[in-house]
A and B are shown apart, each in its own frame.
Chain A
Amino acid sequence: MADVTAGGVRFHVQRLAPHHRPGQPEHPVVLIHGLGMDNLSSFYYTLANPLAHAGAEVILYDLRGHGMSERPRTGYQVRDSVTDLALILDALSIDGPVHLVGNSYGGMVALGFAVAYPARVASMVPIEANFSIAGWAEWIETGRQKTSSEPAAQSLLAPLGRKVVRMAGAADELLDRTTFLADLRAMQPIPAAELRRLACPVRAVHGEHSDAVDYGRHLVELLPHCVLTVLPGCGHSVLMDATAALREIVLDWFASQTPAGFR
């Protein structure tokens, strides 16, 4: 199954099942990617297959407007992303709890989903997650002005090849034809009082040099049961820069969350 329609929007979904343990009852692990140029492939290339190989049922999906999912004009606030995830799980007939792994904005979606649907979350691993994305819209626009202020940006991109042209085109579509940036600007932080109510086990991972590392420390203050690892030498791109270390943390975490054993 590759396409799932949820709330009238078509989402690209990939479901990986463990080969060697068919039918093993286990909460699925849902992987939620970050914003902008990201899509489900960042998890597919890093954590998804090792997790499935270790025995988990893994679900990956492209956020609306990203990857191979539909790009509707509106609906890019975190509350929309939370509703999208709930409707995707409904469409997959998954009404029991799931484990969530979210990278960057995907971590914020995981936290927001757990606040909204506490009974549907078995545990979560927010990686470089934020509770607030104040300033992101301006940061994206500044980065874009630098490239588009060059004369004939598209003709400069063309020699870089098909992949760069296509990725830049997809980003332009998201920025120009949707409410993505306006929604980013309007997005409210997840209130600390709501985060404090989270009861599910939480395993947070951050990069030492990331701007988001303080969110991890704040999360531990709000949730004393949250286990935080700060990976030395890493920035925000923990998933790409410290894949092996992160993979061990995530596999160990799900082993500890699975009484019947895992791996």
Chain B
Amino acid sequence: MTHDQILIEIRAMLTEIIGAEYALGLDIGMGTSFDADLELESIEFVKLSAMLTERYGDRVDFVAFLATKELNEIIDMTVGEVVTYLADRLAPAGALDG
């Protein structure tokens, strides 16, 4: 999957979590931060992680991704960092599919 495809999917998940009414006023891109820009509650970020794990399955080890991050690094994370991580993890399988 390309970065753009993943970004579109994450945008849809975030819209479901924070509600279309609020999300419509935001331009969610690679540089958007979950905390400062989206004002995502921490429990909502947990929800997003669960949705991503459900969507992409075992190919994405979100536990490993978060296990090495300190609290402030998780809070300061941008949408783009998650997209890039997912794209890297999904790339080999995508190549095989193709």
Contacts and interface: CB of A to CB of B under 8 A. Distances in A.
Given A44-B49, A167-B41, 4 more contacts: A19-B64, A161-B39, A162-B18, A240-B71
Interface string B66-85: 11101100110000000000
A53 B67 contact: yes
A245 to B, nearest CB: 12
Given A19-B58, A19-B61, A162-B22, A49 B43 contact: no
Contacts of B95: none
B3 interface: no
B19 to A, nearest CB: 9
Nearest to A243: B71
Interface residues of A, number: 29
Interface residues of B, number: 25
Contacts of A163: 35, 39-41
B78 to A, nearest CB: 16
Given A67-B43, A166-B41, A244 B70 contact: yes
Contacts of A17: 63
Interface of B: 18, 22, 35, 39-43, 45-47, 49-50, 58, 61-64, 66-68, 70-71, 74-75
A41 interface: yes
Interface in A57-72: 62, 67-68
Nearest to A16: B63
Contacts of A29: none
A50 interface: yes
A5 interface: no
A173 B40 CA distance: 20
Contact of A162 (B39, B58, B63): B39
